[in-house]
Amino acid sequence: MNNQRRRFIKSSALGAAGISLIPSFVLGNQTGHIAPSEKVNLACCGIGHRGGEVVKSLHATGLANVVALCDVDMGAEHTVEVMKMFPDVPRFKDFREMFDKMGKDIEAVSVGTPDFSHFPITMLAMSMGIHVYVEKPMARTFNEVQLMMDGAKKHNVVTQMGNQGHSEANYFQFKAWKEAGIIKDVTAMTAHMNGRRRWHGWDPKIISFPPKQPIPTTMDWDTWLGTSHHHDYHEDLVNGQWRCWYDFGMGALGDWGAHIMDTAHEFLELGLPEEIVPLKLEDHNTFFFPMETTLAFKFPKRGDMPAMTITWYDGQNNIPPVPAGYGVSELDPNIPPPSNGQLQPAKLNPGKIIYGGDLTFKGGSHGSTLSIIPEEKAKDMAGQLPEVPESPSNHFANFLKACKGEEKARSAFDIAGPLSQVFSLGVLSQRLGAKLEFDRETKQVTNHALANELLAGVPPRKGWEEFYKL
């Protein structure tokens, strides 16, 4: 990386903001980084699979001008569709080269890469005054998420985590029902994802990573590894398979938790748990996630809200108990299919059950709205429910409008960060098979020395240390 050029780009971006013809306060923009036109100049990191869907969704808003494409496997089959959409846009395999050469032309970036690689791309972008849309969860380790939150404040940029349901009906309903006192005195919530996961066909007695395979000719494997320590290439480490491994992904919890727990976490002001208890870890091993997991996240009393426990269930046969009158759960049609095919049918569709003082609520995933159960109670409450406003923008438009100073990002890092840290703590409990006691003030694990060390993860690979200092 050309550090001198990076410093020049950063200072140039700040200087350009300072001489903008339209003062930032006129547009309500607190970032000082104004788009020179009605469209935001957008670079896209990760253009296949889910990353490609993010690119297409941002482009579909009509608010973005795609100026650069970046993918470590540029030219592979899963990248071709987006490449054809933008045939004249510069292409890169290394995000460092992209920012080095085009940083002055980029106002925002989408990061649709594996969980573990969100961090360096995001940190470099923010250090250059570039706004960031990053897929969920924000990062793999607790401390990386913290650095990303701190970086967003330090560099005064717009940020958004990609839990798109946070701009849909459930967000506005949960907010309205909480403010109206419909959702109150919540002491427990069940959150569950019981569909088939990628690792459910694997041998849990695994003793090593998959054997080395030839690296595809299209792929920059060294850049794919990023901050991670060296691993030999294997097809079961890439293209969505990375989600299976503790070294690279966040399992079912990090993948689906952000679509199921998000509204409760924000509007019930949960913050960080004080205890994480593994109640079930079926076929636990040190390489990939358990076949079935049940985790209890215990949150303390918050103001006038009582202490609360979220119990997370994943695994095909690890079905949580449901209350009387639950009925059936329908699948939200807005849930995008996984990159490896159709969403697998499940005995219980992804969702949540919220237990309040005098009401029980059933909800799904993503933007799915809550309903009061049983049905008789819902009918009794019908006349007391507040009007719920419609969303003024979807999640992608919300981010781009925030870049322009027209809206506030709904899942900015100060909102999404603590939620992502909840997942990091949960994954640590899964990985170590241990109950964790957590000090919310000092942000330290107090009962498990190794877990406390792993809040930061292992030190980054040589040559990648700089991203932790930006």
* CA 272 – CA 441 distance, rounded (Å): 9
- Tell whether the model's pLDDT for residue 26 goes beyond 60: no
Looking at residue 4, its pLDDT comes to 43
Looking at residue 21, its pLDDT comes to 30
Instruction: Look at domain 3-166 and name its CATH class.
Output: alpha beta
Looking at residue 15, its pLDDT comes to 38
State the angle between helix axes of 95-102 and 118-127 in degrees (0 to 180), rounded to the nearest 10.
10
Q: What is the mean pLDDT of residues 59-86?
A: 98
What is the DSSP-derived secondary structure letter of residue 352? E
Looking at residue 454, its pLDDT comes to 97
User: Closest Cα partner for 351 from 336, 338, 368?
Assistant: 368
pTM attached to this predicted model = 0.90
Q: Are 48 and 82 in contact (CB under 8 A)?
A: yes
pLDDT in tens, 212-249: 999 999 999 999 999 999 999 999 999 999 999 999 99
Q: Beta-carbon neighbour count of residue 376 at 10 Å?
A: 10
Which residues, 6 or more positions from 337, have their beta carbon under 8 angstroms from its beta carbon? 343
pLDDT in tens, 252-295: 999 999 999 999 999 999 999 999 999 999 999 999 999 999 99
CA distances from 36 to 14, 102, 405, 413 (A): 14, 16, 12, 25
- Tell whether the model's pLDDT for residue 16 goes beyond 80: no
pLDDT in tens, 322-360: 988 887 666 565 666 555 555 545 578 899 999 999 999
pLDDT in tens, 90-125: 999 999 999 999 999 999 999 999 999 999 999 999
Q: Beta-carbon neighbour count of residue 409 at 10 Å?
A: 25
| Percentage of the residues of the chain whose pLDDT score is greater than 70 | 88
> What tokens does 359 get?
């009401």
Q: Strand (E) positions, 46-178?
A: 64-70, 91-92, 108-111, 131-134, 159-161
- Tell whether the model's pLDDT for residue 10 goes beyond 90: no
- Tell whether the model's pLDDT for residue 25 goes beyond 60: no
CA distances from 434 to 195, 279, 449 (A): 25, 10, 11
Q: Strand (E) positions, 71-175?
A: 91-92, 108-111, 131-134, 159-161
Helices (H), 180-261: 221-225, 251-260
Q: What is the mean pLDDT of residues 73-86?
A: 98
> What tokens does 283 get?
């076929």
* CA 232 – CA 221 distance, rounded (Å): 9
For tokens 């940083």, what's the residue?
103
pLDDT in tens, 145-191: 999 999 999 999 999 999 999 999 999 999 999 999 999 999 999 99
* CA 309 – CA 445 distance, rounded (Å): 18
- Tell whether the model's pLDDT for residue 28 goes beyond 50: no
Which position has the higher pLDDT, 17 or 392? 392
User: Given 3.40.50, 1.25.10, 3.30.360, 3.30.160, which CATH number is that of 169-390+415-453?
Assistant: 3.30.360
Phi-psi region of 236 (alpha: psi -120 to 50; beta: other; left: phi over 0): alpha
* CA 27 – CA 381 distance, rounded (Å): 41
* CA 33 – CA 400 distance, rounded (Å): 12
- 373 strand-pairing partners: 360
Domain ranges of the chain: 3-166, 169-390+415-453
- 160 strand-pairing partners: 133
* CA 207 – CA 230 distance, rounded (Å): 17
